[in-house]
Amino acid sequence: MQLLLAVCSLGALLTIINSLTIRVVKPRIEGKIAETICVLIPMRNEEANVDGVVSSVEGSTGLARFDFLILDDFSTDATAAKIESREISTVQGYPLPEGWLGKNWACWQLAQASNGEYLVFLDADVRLHPTAIASSIKKMKELRWDFISPYPRQIARSFLEHLFQPLLQWSWMASVPLRIAERFNINSMTIANGQFFIVKREAYFDIGGHEAIRGEVLDDLRLARTLVSGGYRGGVAEASSVAQCRMYENATDLVNGYTKSLWSAFGGLIGTLFTVLLLVATQILPFLLGVSGYAIGWLAYAITALSHGIAAARTKSSPANMFLHPLSAFLLIVLIFESIRRKSVGKLIWRERYLA
């Protein structure tokens, strides 16, 4: 039990350190970014998001020269018509080649059609503060980074979203020493979120861009780690003040969204089993010990709750996991095994496409 308490305390300590030292993108900018900027937005069945994301990007300030491109990836809804009504520059998408995943292929086509010195990859469900892009590039310049992943605030509305979405930030804030990863350019500790990702054009094409990760379901992490492996510098930044995203509109999309990638999230079978055991030990077992009458169980539970609360406060996300983390962890474990099951029977699906 002493070991359990120590592990929970270590996670909480790391969360505190990261919350105090994480790079932060703030909504302030003086002057304008002189380099050319190109915002690249892949879309598939995003009719509900076209107007919101386009208006968001069009409101950008602090940029001397910028444009944006949208690629409609063979949507089956009204996405194409919505894009056409906005009179936006578009890229004609080509059919998905063998060995590629849809988003990777769409991003690669967009990048090839662009001419910006900075490439800004943006998901359709992200909404930006007017200075978001300029402030993020300013932070890149201050740090002499070649890429940056400004992590948006994750919007949660349904009960299931409140349970799951805060786990995104908490998972790396409680397990990765961010400043050490930055200082020593450690590939395996590099964190990124493809919802909002900015990279210098030269660095992107030098490492092969999305073509180098064509079949990777965790495209954001793989792209960032490929950049680090190529000698380029960058990392994650807390950007809840300049960007926000509601990833899933309903429970079905949330389940499909997580199961499409959880099977590959932990580096193979051994990593997956270790993660599951760690979740059980630090998120579920303390609560079970507490209700069984062990005071040390409640202490471990309280320490872990503090970790979730700090991560939520730092990233302006839902605080529900502060006390409901045992339930969140249990449901996450269920989705991990469901993801593995779907992968084994070829039932992984996203945006009406089956994933190999």
Residue 356 falls inside a structural domain: no
Last-in-domain residue among 198, 227, 249 = 249
Last-in-domain residue among 205, 222, 249 = 249
Residues 240, 295: one domain? no
Q: What is the pLDDT of residue 291?
A: 96
- What residues make up the domain containing 226? 22-249
- What distance in Å separates the CA atoms of residue 328 and residue 248, rounded to the nearest whole number? 17
Residues 161, 31: one domain? yes
Q: Decide: residue 173, CB within 10 A, 0-12 exposed, 13-18 middle, 19+ buried.
A: buried
Last-in-domain residue among 196, 227, 249 = 249
Q: What is the pLDDT of residue 235?
A: 96
Scanning the structure block, which residue is given the tokens 């992943």? Answer: 149
φ/ψ (deg, to 5) at 149: -115, 90
Residues 99, 203: one domain? yes
Q: Residue 74: which region, alpha, beta or left (left: phi > 0; alpha: psi -120 to 50)?
A: left
Residue 140 falls inside a structural domain: yes
Q: How many CB atoms lie within 10 A of CB 187?
A: 14
At 315, is the secondary structure helix, strand, or coil?
helix
Tens of each residue's pLDDT in the chain, 356 residues: 788 899 999 999 999 999 999 999 999 877 899 999 999 999 999 999 999 999 999 999 999 999 999 999 999 999 999 998 887 888 888 999 999 999 999 999 999 999 999 999 999 999 999 999 999 999 999 999 999 999 999 999 999 999 999 999 999 999 999 999 999 999 999 999 999 999 999 999 999 999 999 999 999 999 999 999 999 999 999 999 999 999 998 888 899 989 988 988 888 889 999 999 999 999 999 999 999 999 999 999 999 999 999 999 999 999 988 999 999 999 999 999 999 999 888 888 777 676 75
Of residues 195, 47, 36, the one with CA closest to residue 127: 195
Q: What is the pLDDT of residue 29?
A: 77
